[in-house]
Amino acid sequence: MAQDILINWSPQETRVAVVEQGAVQEVHIERTLERGLVGNIYLGKVSRVLPGMQSAFIDVGLDRAAFLHVADLLPNITARHAGKDKAPLVASGQAAADGAPAVAAAANAAGVLPIERQIFEGQALMVQVLKDPIGTKGARLTAQISIAGRLLVFLPQDKHLGVSQKIPYAQREALRQRLVALTADGGGGFILRTNAEDASDEELAEDIAYLRKTWAHIKASAARQPPATLLHQDLTLLQRVLRDLVGAQTQSIHVDSREQHEGLQAFAREYMPSTLERLRLYSGERPIFDLYHIDEDMARALGRRVDLKSGGYLVIDQTEALTTVDVNTGGFVGARNFDDTVFRTNLEAAQAIARQLRLRNLGGIVIVDFIDMVREDHREAVLAEFRKQLARDRVKTMIGGFSQLGLVEMTRKRTRESLAQLLSEPCAACGGKGQVKTARTVCYDVLREILREARAFNPREFRVVASPQVIELFLDEESAHLAGLSDFIGKPISLQSEGSMTQEQYDIVLL
């Protein structure tokens, strides 16, 4: 299905929308301040070797020195393919300085050489960030370089060809043989990712060429740059659009920033020449996201309810463990009989649910409660339509049939945070429950707490500090109960309204 990609750029945030048939199907967002360092490759300089900890501190140009353990310097020495290829390839100090991998010295029975026999202070070493700096701790590094592509992970210092274990075992060997044939004319190892399970040889070859070209640039940069220099940064969202989102069905890519458009053109010429002719600079007066009401769709995607054109609606609830989708007929009564009404609502819901899963980027287990259908052919038609719509999703999905309870269970691979997790946070008033106690309920909680405190302490006075709604109720409808409690405990109870408190919050001050 033909699609257009719209890119809205600002210094603080990049937003990308994938539009099909005039409706937004996917939204991707990257915020400048939230970009991490994981995946970045540096030409570091060994500032200190710690034999007792079998680790070293590496200066990579950050505020704090980064940490490298000996296990991340040398690959694990394990037998591969019944004893073959036992000698691992690693980046040694001098080799890493010019980007060339070298074979490590033969390891003894213990497995690896001590770190002090492999690197020394002042040495240049190519490293990659494994973990971002946290608090006072510097970044965690590895000398085992890997570069992720759309379909493959490139291991330039290794010769291993592997396939993701998440792919069914029966398919792995065939995929590995395809990988052997496609990588025979060059060096390095590759791991085929889960989303490459159905990729064509042409798509795999394109990814291999991109990864090898990236590695060649990294090596060239390492040869001419001084230590403590960034050699390669993980792709920005703009660049990942060309690498990951653009396909044969993509008609155009519109960018609303001249500077970013020129940068993307340069990236496309170098790595993705097939996408160059589809890049467009948007210079219209209206904001680019207004063209397809994308901001409105994003706002609706944060809510529970999704209205259908027929008058029916969906209720979507996202929890930590799973997502549930409930289908309701609502005001739809346009069909000739009830069975047809239910069938038409479910058909429309199948299309809407598939779109909402992509738009909200909901992953994990999804349970769909379609409206009960009596006829078997109706159930099969709804399931077929649901599978058809899910097939358009670039993220892998698996779907079962109707269960004995009439539910449809499916899974969608988690690839990143959902839209709601990215754009929102739990409500400070309700703690994410979606509901708060009524003011009357809080009044009664306060009365019980005062009684509890009166039995334990003997203050001169109790003061209730609470939200205006709770204080107002105490002054009006609950005044008799408050006075009765004051008489019972023999202590005065005063009230203080605090506008900054939520309805559930209160304090009882002993005076």
- 349 lies in the same domain as 407: yes
Distance of CA 316 to the CA centre of its chain: 19
**Mean pLDDT over residues 24-35, rounded?**
89
- 130 lies in the same domain as 253: no
Q: CA triplet 186, 192, 194: central angle to 5 degrees?
A: 165
- Which residues, at least 6 apart from 58, have a Cβ–Cβ distance to it below 8 Å? 44, 45, 46, 47, 65, 66, 67, 68, 125, 127, 141
Q: Is residue 289 classed exposed, middle or buried when 0-12, 13-18 and 19+ CB atoms within 10 A define those classes? A: buried
Name the more confident of 165 and 79: 165
- 195 lies in the same domain as 55: yes
Helices (H), 183-279: 201-224, 237-240, 258-271
92: pLDDT confidence band, cut at 50, 70 and 90? Answer: very low
- 24 lies in the same domain as 134: no
**Mean pLDDT over residues 61-68, rounded?**
91
- 66 lies in the same domain as 201: yes
Cα gap 382→112, rounded to integer Å: 58
Cα gap 323→386, rounded to integer Å: 16
List pLDDT tens digits, range 98-135. Answer: 332 333 333 333 467 899 999 999 999 999 999 888 77
- 104 lies in the same domain as 217: yes
SS3 call for 31: strand
**Full DSSP string of 152-183:** EEEETT---EEE-TTS-HHHHHHHHHHHHHHT
Residue of 281, 298, 280 whose CA lies nearest to 289: 298
- 130 lies in the same domain as 150: yes
Residues 365, 369, 375, 377: is their CA dihedral positive or negative? negative
SS3 call for 318: strand
Residues 45, 48, 49, 54: is their CA dihedral positive or negative? negative
**Mean pLDDT over residues 441-463, rounded?**
94
Among 391, 420, 449, the domain-final residue is 420
**Mean pLDDT over residues 267-283, rounded?**
90
- Return the minimum-mean-pLDDT range out of 264-268, 379-383, 390-394, 408-412: 390-394
In the prediction, which pLDDT does 53 show?
92
- 375 lies in the same domain as 397: yes
State how many domains the chain has.
Answer: 4
pTM surpassing 0.85?
no
- Return the minimum-mean-pLDDT range out of 42-51, 327-336, 441-450: 327-336
Name the more confident of 277 and 101: 277
Q: Is residue 164 part of a domain?
A: yes
333: pLDDT confidence band, cut at 50, 70 and 90? Answer: low
Q: Are strands 462-466 and 493-497 parallel, antiparallel or unpaired?
A: parallel
- Return the minimum-mean-pLDDT range out of 41-55, 178-192, 444-458: 178-192
84: pLDDT confidence band, cut at 50, 70 and 90? Answer: very low
**Mean pLDDT over residues 162-166, rounded?**
86
Q: Is residue 123 part of a domain?
A: yes
Q: Is residue 427 part of a domain?
A: no
In the prediction, which pLDDT does 332 show?
57
Highest-scoring range by mean pLDDT, 20-24, 193-197, 335-339: 20-24
List pLDDT tens digits, range 406-446. Answer: 899 999 988 778 898 889 888 888 877 788 999 999 999 99
- 78 lies in the same domain as 207: yes
In the prediction, which pLDDT does 75 show?
56
**Mean pLDDT over residues 441-453, rounded?**
95
**Mean pLDDT over residues 249-258, rounded?**
94
Residue of 494, 479, 491 whose CA lies nearest to 454: 491
- 105 lies in the same domain as 192: yes
Mean pLDDT of the chain: 86
In the prediction, which pLDDT does 441 show?
96
Q: Is residue 383 part of a domain?
A: yes
In the prediction, which pLDDT does 50 show?
94
List pLDDT tens digits, range 197-235. Answer: 888 898 899 899 999 999 999 999 999 999 999 999 888
- 487 lies in the same domain as 359: no
> What residue has token string 């770190």?
115
* Full domain range(s) for residue 482: 439-510
Let me know: does 408 contact 322? Beta carbons within 8 Å: no
Q: CA triplet 214, 127, 235: central angle to 5 degrees?
A: 40
In the prediction, which pLDDT does 347 show?
94
Cα gap 90→245, rounded to integer Å: 33
- Among left, alpha and beta (phi > 0; psi -120 to 50; other), residue 181 is alpha
Among 208, 232, 256, the domain-final residue is 232
**Cα 472 to Cα 331, 396, 492, 503, distances in angstroms:** 40, 54, 18, 12
Q: Is residue 182 part of a domain?
A: yes
Cα gap 390→507, rounded to integer Å: 51
Q: Is residue 282 part of a domain?
A: yes
334: pLDDT confidence band, cut at 50, 70 and 90? Answer: low
- 54 lies in the same domain as 196: yes
**Mean pLDDT over residues 157-172, rounded?**
86
Name the more confident of 434 and 472: 472
Residue of 495, 488, 489 whose CA lies nearest to 509: 495
Q: What percent of the chain clears pLDDT 70, i.e. is strictly above it?
A: 91
Let me know: does 189 contact 179? Beta carbons within 8 Å: no
In the prediction, which pLDDT does 93 show?
33
Among 209, 232, 255, the domain-final residue is 232
Q: Is residue 14 part of a domain?
A: yes
Here the CATH number for the domain that contains residue 265 is 3.30.420.60
Q: Is residue 305 part of a domain?
A: yes
